[in-house]
Structure 1
Amino acid sequence: MVTRPRASRARTALATRIVRHALAGLPLRARLAGGEDIGLGGPLMDIRDPDAFFRRIGASGLIGFGESYMAGEWDAPDLVGVLTVLADNAAELIPAPLQRLRSLWALRKPETQLNTPEGSRENISHHYDLSNELFALFLDETLSYSSAVFRGFPAEQSLLPAAQHRKIDLLLDAAGVGEGTRLLEIGTGWGELAVRAAARGARVVSVTLSAEQRQLARTRIREAGFEDRAEVRLCDYRQVTGEYDAIVSVEMIEAVGEEFWPVYFRTLDRLLAPGGRVALQAITMPDDRLRASRSTYTWIHKYIFPGGLLPSTEAIERVTTEHTRLRTVQRIGYGAHYAETLRLWRERFTERSAEVDALGFDAVFRRMWTFYLAYSEAGFRSGYLDVQQLLLTREPTHQENR
């Protein structure tokens, strides 16, 4: 259940004026109950309860926009289409004077979501310990919860496992993982990368903060016959010790938090053996949008990924240059591939709604999850978001150059 919105008349009136003005200039059709249409034409946004819709936005901005969808106060036959229009115009939706006053009106991230070792465990558990069975309903058989890499578009459900293996192999190849490689994986997922690396002859240590993921990943590693080559530890990345020839981390930096980016990259630097390689897969956003929104509390923070923040490629360069000897030597973007991956997940989630219900998740949860998947897909379709595979190596010291 989504709580009823509470906002003063003044805030509701201001939100109504701003949102109406924004919608009027967008290539979509916002249809309000009663027959009024706003917009330049395009995908339909059906606002069934305008009073509640504007009141929610007045109360909590874009968080209210997502909550209004969860509550069924607005809907869209083509949800991704509507959200893509909004993502295309994200920088202009709020008038420039209000953008400059963002610190006065935007909700700020709660201190409880800070990614300290204790906070990280709670933040990760909020999402990844929901239910292994839930994730299995919409992911493919590899249980890979990150962007696949396809050979072409449009992608089909049957091609997703091969595309996920392609993604993993690109990362392992970039990191030089082979027979005898000492590999550290930061962020286990459900174990597919660890299995694939062990099949190459690598010795794998994989760390996660999700007890649910660890349990299933260990089972899958054992069933694949690689229990002697791959171990999964319930461990914060900051607590890892040892030396590794290769480090791979897939879409985990998004959960680190800006305050801890220097610690994260210093940890990679500390753990990497001389001549070693780091291969990361990271979701990124434009640097100007990162700077503008870095402290804002969003719908995604509240409902999906508490404590998360997407880096920009420029931010990664700044942090690694200032705090480590790691340098990015290769970067390849796959944003369109993530849009297709998310489409396939969303379609599968929708098709299996009855099974989601059977697991004990209600209709509001299903609308929340549908909005999350569509919202993410729209970010990549618009180009607002990208996903990149980065290869980092360590600059040699003067002594090593001699």
Structure 2
Amino acid sequence: MTVSAERATDRDLFTPPHTATDKDRWPDVARLPRGSRARTATAALILRRAFARLPLRVQWGKAPAAGTGPLLRVRDPEAFFRRIGSGGLVGFGESYMAGEWDADDLVGVLTVLATHVDDLVPAPLRRLRALWVRRRPAEQRNTVTGARDNIRRHYDLSNDLFALFLDPTMSYSSAVFPALPATGADFAAAQHHKIDRLLDLAGVGPGTRVLEIGTGWGELALRAARRGAVVVTVTLSAEQRHLAMSRLRDAGVADRVTVELCDYRHVSGTYDAVVSVEMIEAVGADYWPVYFATLRKRLAPGGRIALQTITMPHERMLATGRTHTWISKYIFPGGLIPSMAAVERESTAAGLTIGSDHGYGEHYAETLRLWRERFSQQAPSVDALGFDHTFRRMWEMYLAYSEAGFRARYLDVRQLLLTASTTTRGAVR
């Protein structure tokens, strides 16, 4: 890891001794931002005071830990404050990737921070947020070209990587467990239960014409085909399409499923059932009107739409949508989690009515816990695939950060039934 010259002799405080950050692959992690002294000092003042009020034990450098709760160990306070003073939450995540802070219970620490996110910065200073947060890069907009690039950056990483931590169904969305806390033995059955709920919601049975927007690795299409449905499923991930087609052939249902490498905006035809599972988060707010209009346009008379989506509070969605976050920089470029208010608004504008709404965020927390534990157990296999230590810390942070959001009830996940409105069709864009 590259650090400033004045800190080089202290690198053992915060750098794992067996690793070095690849400065070409991770330039903003390998080097500290220049940052102004004023911003660094302000970040230090705010965070020291805020953390002292939270149910956290915090250890600053070599000083003894103070407080109560899960332990946040800041190995290099100077680097930690400089990154956050320069980049806010992006800096917070990059500091973890760099090994400058750690936690024995990462989810516990992040859950405390997510629960108290609105208390970390004093109210008067929140008005100045726009002066230091960065806007999302224009190239992350989900144009037809941009969406393809954004999807590939995440979903085309490696099918073998995802197989290391997903359940045998290769489902990359929340399961619905029969009871909580969950066990790994229940995982595949819980994913099938989630899928079956969606297919029931959409009324999928023998002869149903189904459109799936967002193929994943094919499990929903496979299960719909086994009900006797005829399925068209679309994805922008070549890696996912390749494995989905192989799995469908192995299951003996390939003759009932067409897997297209196709943008949802380019789908043709009408369908009795449209299903889309955690796809809207990748669409981007600018294109939500097009997405919902497409759902409506592809729906045959009397058809049903089953939609599964993560949601967040509306004001937080608005703030996140204006900001280049750690998640948008490293994990889901171009993505944005909607609020239920946004879903309701866009559905109505497209001529759709929400007829059923079921939330189960605690099940997503458990899903993420199982993914995170499996991923941690597979560290040597992740390395063998060519992913380095910095990537593993990034992925651990992503899974723990997401789990904490659901445990803090900052995030939720919902299954929705949408049908064509009886009063107005709405504009199809």
TM-score range normalised by the length of the shorter chain: over 0.9
One-letter amino acid matched to 1:146: S
Aligned equivalent of 1:47, options 74, 82, 89: 74
The 8 Å contact of residues 5 and 59 in structure 1, kept in 2 or not, is answered as: no
Written as runs of structure 1 = structure 2, the 5 A alignment for 1:229-378 is 229-321=256-348, 323-378=349-404
Counterpart of 2:408 (choices 371, 377, 382) is: 382
Distance 2:320 2:123 in 1: 14
Map 1:194-213 to 2 at 5 A.
194-213=221-240
Residue 159 of structure 1 corresponds to 186
* 2:29 corresponds to 1:29: no
Deviation, structure 1 residue 228: 1.0
TM-score by length of structure 1 reads: 0.97
The amino acid of 2:39's aligned partner reads R
Q: Could you say if the C-alpha distance between residues 15 and 159 of structure 1 is closer, same or farther in structure 2, counting changes exceeding 3 Å? A: same
TM-score with structure 2 setting the length = 0.91
**Range that drifts further, 261-270 or 2-11:** 2-11
Mapped to 1, the partners of 2:142 and 2:30 lie a distance apart of 27
SS at structure 2 position matched to 1:245? strand
Would the aligned equivalents of 1:66 and 1:371 in 2 still touch at CA under 8 Å? yes
Q: How many residues are treated as equivalent by the alignment?
A: 397
- TM-fit CA distance, 1:374: 0.3
Moved more, 100-109 or 178-187: 100-109
Query: How far apart in 2 are the matches of 1:261 and 1:72?
Result: 37
Select which of 389, 413, 418 maps to 1:392.
Answer: 418
| Unpaired runs of at least 5, structure 2 | 1-20, 22-28
Three-state SS of the structure 2 residue aligned to 1:228 is: helix
Give how far 1:107 is off: 1.0
State the distance in 2 between where 1:94 and 1:388 align: 30
CA separation in 2, counterparts of 1:288 and 1:58? 23
**1:92 maps to which residue?**
119
The structural deviation recorded for 1:25 is 1.1
In the TM superposition, 1:56-205 aligns within 5 A as: 56-205=83-232
3-state SS in 1 of match to 2:297: helix
Give distance in 2, aligned partners of 1:317 and 1:263: 14
In structure 2, the partner of 1:216 is 243
The code of the aligned residue for 2:354 comes to: T
Distance in 2 (alpha carbons) for counterparts of 1:358 and 1:110: 33
CA distances 1:196-253 after superposition (whole Å, capped 9, x unpaired): 0000000000000000000000111111111110010000000001000000000000
Partner deviation per Cα, 1:338-381 (whole Å, 9 max, x = no partner): 00000000000011110001001111111100000000000000
CA gap of 1:398–1:58, structure 2 versus 1, over 3 A, is closer
| Offset of residue 97 of structure 1 | 1.8
Give 4+ residue runs of structure 1 displaced > 4 Å after superposition.
none
| Cα distance in structure 2, aligned partners of 1:250 and 1:138 | 19
